[in-house]
Amino acid sequence: MDSLTQIVLGAAVGEATLGKKIGNKALLWGAIGGTIPDLDVFVGKLFDTVTELDIHRGFSHSILFSLLLAPVLGFIVNKWYQKSNEANWRDWTLLFFWALFTHPLLDSFTTWGTQIFWPMDYRVAFHSIFVIDPLYTLPFLISTIAVLFYQRESPIRRRWNRFGILYSTAYLGITLLIKTHVNEVVVDSLKQQQIQFESFQTRPTPFNTLLWATNVELEDDFLMGYYSLFDKQPKVIFKRIAKQHLLQREVEKENDFQRLQFLTKGYYTLEQFSDTLVMNDLRFGEFSGWNSIAETTNSVSEENDFVFTYYLTRDNEGQLVVHRKPNQMRKAKEAMNGLWNRLKGE
């Protein structure tokens, strides 16, 4: 999730853990603890593209990381406040553990994948909430700010904080229920259109849980479609994109390519342009995919503009080099123009 949301979650967890003892300092240190796992993005910048992708939401988002770092942070902060006698090392350790651990727990509901069980090479991704969702964050933020205006012993303060935590938890539960419904619509649509499929994924589109995207894997192609809870008919219209996985023959044994395969969970397409192999990660779709779905399952996209695209080339020594295609914010802004109309239903 975005940094603001993680700050709010960390602050609320800090308040729930230690607020009655130390007041607003619990919110502050909880917020700090809640942001620490995302410092992996700065570490990743020191490495190549694939290693950077591997590092993000890896070790720093694991249970092990929380268990190892919480006692260290607890010791440091306890030393800092040792004269106050308000909390001990155990109290601070519990605060930091829950602030650190709830961060990847929340991230696991998004699409990227979170390596909670590191060093196991498995990423948890429920695909039920977008990384920025105002309906999740804003009420949570309001309740956390309200906490600041009450004394630490106040029962109203605890009620505000409890409301924020319960609301955010219930919201995540609702996203899973909506996802279950969307999955049923996708399966029914595939059956109605007599499409034999191998697997499929669903995920919410930016900033909402009302318009959902789906990727469906066939033998040689992928289908991409969208469904809004406000659609008059519970039916998904798809467009077809060729996998072209035969293009990977020259790179399929390369470690970097295999890591990209793992990260995409197999949901990728390939294109060849001169000496450059282009790999499109389908998990995050196209910038304005909801505007480009044709009304036939046999349609082929003439121009794909995926959010995550990687260029695979070889250097002078024949080594595989991977570069991520830079995103153009202009296209993202243009994509948002059509999002509202599609969200309202066809």
CA distances 310 to 189, 234, 305, Å, are: 31, 34, 12
- Map tokens 């450059």 to a residue: 276
Q: Give the H/E segment covering residue 34.
A: helix 24-35
Give yes or no for residue 301 having a pLDDT over 80: no
The predicted pLDDT at position 215 comes to 97
Q: Which of 2-16, 258-272, 308-322, 326-340 has the lowest mean pLDDT?
A: 326-340
Helices and strands per DSSP (H, E), number in the chain: 10, 8
Q: Going along the chain, which residue ranges are E strands?
A: 199-204, 211-217, 221-228, 237-242, 268-273, 276-286, 306-314, 320-324
**Mean local confidence (pLDDT), 118-126:** 94
Q: Which of 26-40, 136-150, 310-324, 325-339 has the lowest mean pLDDT?
A: 325-339
Average pLDDT, the chain: 92
Greatest Cα pair distance in the chain: 72
Helix, strand, coil percent content, the chain, rounded in steps of 5: 50, 20, 30
Give yes or no for residue 295 having a pLDDT over 50: no
Give yes or no for residue 294 having a pLDDT over 80: no
Query: For 133, what's the count of Cα atoms within 13 Å in the CB-facing half-sphere?
Result: 23
Give the integer Cα–Cα distance in Å for 303 and 84. Answer: 63
